[in-house]
A and B are shown apart, each in its own frame.
Chain A
Amino acid sequence: MSAAAGIESTSPPVGEAKPETAKLVMVPPPKKRLSPTLQKFVEVVLPPLLGILLFIGVWALIAQTSGGRLPGPLKTWLSAVEVFSHPFYVKGPNDQGIGWNILSSLQRVGFGFGLAAVIGIPIGFLIGRVAFLNAMFSPIISLLRPVSPLAWLPIGLLVFKSANPAAIWVIFISSIWPMIINTAVGVSRVPQDFLNVAKVLSLSEWKVMTKILLPATLPYILTGIRLSIGVAWLVIVAAEMLTGGVGIGFWVWDEWNNLNVEHIIIAIFIVGIVGLLLEQALILIAKRFSHEYKA
């Protein structure tokens, strides 16, 4: 069994707890006798490893029973090796390497998301700080926020008369709401104690902003950014399917037209992995900034 093989190959050769034989691996010794490294392996590495193996197993099974219509893991893997061996080729505007497709998608997300941050965070700040503005804008936000991102695409096409800015527009409009809302909530939840300090010291509005409101709200802003980038990355695939050009979403659609199902599955994995990486990167940033904030 491959799981057992996994244990054997990665368990370090330390102390008496080291299971030398396959028999010991299959029947693990009592917990107290496990070496710390092995213990950690069993708790941290083993469960996700088993999950992935199960997933691949189920996938292979379904592929087998589908009679060849759905490619199995091995076939997809071989195809992926091929796709990734030439990631940056260009054979015309609609036939480019996977690397270019991913980068184009990331670029669109970057533009749309960056614009949303630049506009959304200050708006959130104002709404959170001024009750009047909050009352003024909250009905509009409540109305527009639940709209499906793709419903904005025709408006974008109409206004910009071009596919690329329309796709960026869709990213912008769908990722701005979490940033506005989280920033506003963060500002309105700044503890009254801190605002009292600001009053007692009679700090200037600038000092209140830089020394109290901004640091106190930063964790909320970062949460908003994290949610936004998740939404943006979700939406880009759908938007590109409709707009065409170069991008991971268009690539999926193109491969569907070619009936190259392995590539579609590869694309699904790419989208998942890139999304995961984006999220993890932002969590890392958030941790860096919030370690000082334990009120």
Chain B
Amino acid sequence: MSAHTDKFLSIENVGMEFDTKRGRFEALRNINLAIDQGEFIALIGHSGCGKSTLLNMIAGLLYPTMGAVICDKREVKGAGPDRGVVFQNHSLLPWLTCFDNVYLAVERVFGEIEGRPKLKERTQKVLELVGLSHAAQKHPDEISGGMKQRVGIARALSMEPKVLLLDEPFGALDALTRARLQDELMGIVKQTGSTVVMVTHDVDEAVLLSDRIVMMTNGPSATIGQIVPVDLERPRDRLKLVAHPRYIDCRRQVMEFLYQKQLRPAA
């Protein structure tokens, strides 16, 4: 699969097996995916299909038992700040203020080359980007779920990562907050030109945000079942898209995949 290596981020023949009490369990098999710089990828599939596992392998939090993940011409061998992760449950440190949560990341990445005032300025700036300057000195338990997730995004963005990895970032939010954050995320990605891989189980979210939707088959031994390119021009407006024939078509394709081809027998 050397043809993939010229891509920015490439997942080559990746497989993942876990040792369980009942022997080896193959979670993922034979995953091949190449991602361009600046591309927005949505990973979608039924729960338990291993999409978070795949994301964690790109992040370097898990190491594949087969194949390799190549990011910017180097094999991913561990987690690092060049791949910023926004966790599903925000994972902010509750004993630090929002500012300090972001500052911890900024200090780690730029602490050796920049002085304190510059680091603070960076932190302020990225909090401004997600619209949270006013809550900088609050602790995570004093702000809403949507705000926490925005701090999580700010923390990931503050490291100026090559790749932004989002693990169902808006899954726990109400529909209105989710829509607002999706719009904000589109704005931020447009501004920063980030390469993004996002795990989601929301069909509309996948179509609205991504350039390609990667759909995974059901586990065990899950793999990529189908890829739907979303060739809708940006900036995208959720209201105008509702009636857009291409949007409807993409949505239909994903729905058909999830609910016809990969329908889960009732657990």
Contacts and interface: CB of A to CB of B under 8 A. Distances in A.
Answer yes or no: do A and B interact: yes
Interface of A: 193-194, 196-197, 199-203, 207, 211-212, 215-216, 292-295
27 contacts: A193-B87, A193-B89, A193-B91, A194-B91, A194-B93, A196-B61, A196-B91, A197-B93, A199-B60, A199-B61, A199-B78, A199-B79, A200-B59, A200-B61, A200-B81, A200-B84, A201-B81, A201-B104, A201-B105, A201-B108, A202-B80, A203-B108, A211-B104, A292-B141, A293-B94, A293-B95, A294-B94
Nearest to A214: B95
Contacts, number: 55
Interface string B114-156: 0000000000000000000000000101000000000000000
Interface of B: 59-61, 78-81, 83-85, 87, 89, 91, 93-96, 104-105, 108-109, 139, 141, 159
Contacts of A292: 94-95, 139, 141
A292 B61 CA distance: 28
Contacts of A215: 93, 95
B91 A197 contact: yes
The 10 closest A-B pairs by CB, nearest first: A199-B79, A193-B91, A215-B95, A294-B141, A200-B79, A292-B95, A200-B85, A201-B108, A197-B91, A201-B105
Contacts of B83: 200
B136 to A, nearest CB: 16
A196 B87 contact: yes
A202 B85 CA distance: 12
B80 A200 contact: yes
Nearest to B101: A197
B59 to A, nearest CB: 6
Contacts of A212: 93
Given A199-B79, A200-B81, A202-B79, 9 more contacts: A196-B79, A197-B87, A199-B61, A200-B59, A201-B81, A202-B81, A207-B108, A294-B94, A294-B141
A263 to B, nearest CB: 48
A205 to B, nearest CB: 13
Nearest to B89: A193
Nearest to B80: A202
Contacts of B60: 199
Nearest to B87: A193
B61 A201 contact: no
Contacts of B95: 215-216, 292-293
Contacts of A295: 94
Contacts of A193: 87, 89, 91
B77 to A, nearest CB: 12
Contacts of B91: 193-194, 196-197
Contacts of A211: 93, 96, 104
